[in-house]
Structure 1
Amino acid sequence: MESAINKVVLSGFAGADAEVKTVMNQKLAKVNLAVNESYKNSSGEEIKKVQWFNLTFWNAKADIAEAQIKKGTGLTIEGRLQTNTYDAKDGTKRYSFDIIVSEVTIRENEKQNAV
């Protein structure tokens, strides 16, 4: 049987300052990451699009996020994709996806004001 791989690498900009809290005696930080994409459609027109990703940092990584990640901070992260399921108010099943960050590089001299 083949081994499975769950690995995500993203590079973008923080949409807001890291939100930090404690969950079951562990530090947790949440950050939204904007990744800018562009492509040309069939008419040759350039289309720009922003993809948003939910990042989750635990413990020591959460300390780094709290101290260094502010709105517009350039980030490159590596982690794994986690799927979450919940019931909406209308009773339908909903899904959300988080990236559990294992490595983070903060791009010091790169900042974007409008994400």
Structure 2
Amino acid sequence: MIRLSVIGHLGHDALKKVINGKSVLSFSVAQNEQYKNLMGVVQERTTWINCSVWERDNLAPYLKKGTLVYVEGRPVFKGYAGKQGEALAGVNMRVAELALLPGARGVLGTGSAGVEEEKPEVADDEELDDEVRNDLPF
């Protein structure tokens, strides 16, 4: 069995459909990568993965455009013709696992999904004893 794992941002809010009496949420995930071409110039490429989640309507309010997600599932590769008749290929995924990741845009109205960063404690000069103060290089 082939499994596909992707971390990326949602391209649009999840759309709910009913197919053969079963609900399905569909959304797209953008996976960005940077690489150097043959000339050594840094290029960026975005791959869009069309995803579908069956019978999980409760996820719809959380799957908003820009949300950072981890999705894993079974890939389905489809060929189609472009606007000028050229042969193109697309990747669809039937999602088995989905997780919202911290730092997701649009989740809970913050950029960090409610996760606070720990700030290191810095000691004041008065709290340093003489032995430590003598070891400082400045």
Give your verdict on TM over 0.5. yes
Q: CA deviation at 1:97?
A: 3.6
Partner of 1:6: 2
1:1-115 equivalent positions in 2, closer than 5 A: 5-60=1-56, 62-64=57-59, 66-84=60-78, 96-111=90-105
Q: CA deviation at 1:43?
A: 2.2
> Match for 2:58: what amino acid?
D
* Cα displacement string for residues 40-77 of structure 1 (whole angstroms, at most 9, x for unaligned residues): 122221101111110011002x431x120100000111
Secondary structure at the counterpart of residue 111 of structure 1: coil
TM-score by length of 2: 0.65
Taking the aligned partners of 1:41 and 1:78, their CA distance within structure 2 comes to 29
RMSD: 2.9
Q: Is the 8 A contact 2:74 2:93 kept in 1?
A: yes
* Cα displacement string for residues 16-56 of structure 1 (whole angstroms, at most 9, x for unaligned residues): 00011111221101101110110012222110111111001
Q: Is the 8 A contact 2:35 2:43 kept in 1?
A: yes
> Match for 2:19: what amino acid?
V
Partner of 2:124: none
TM-score by length of 1: 0.76
Q: Which runs of 5+ in 2 are unaligned?
A: 107-138
Q: Which runs of 5+ in 1 are unaligned?
A: none
State the structure with more CA Rg: 2
The structure whose residues are more often strand, as a share, is 1
In the alignment of these two chains, the number of paired residues is 106
**TM superposition outliers: structure 1 runs of 4+ over 6 Å:** 85-88
Percent identity reads 25
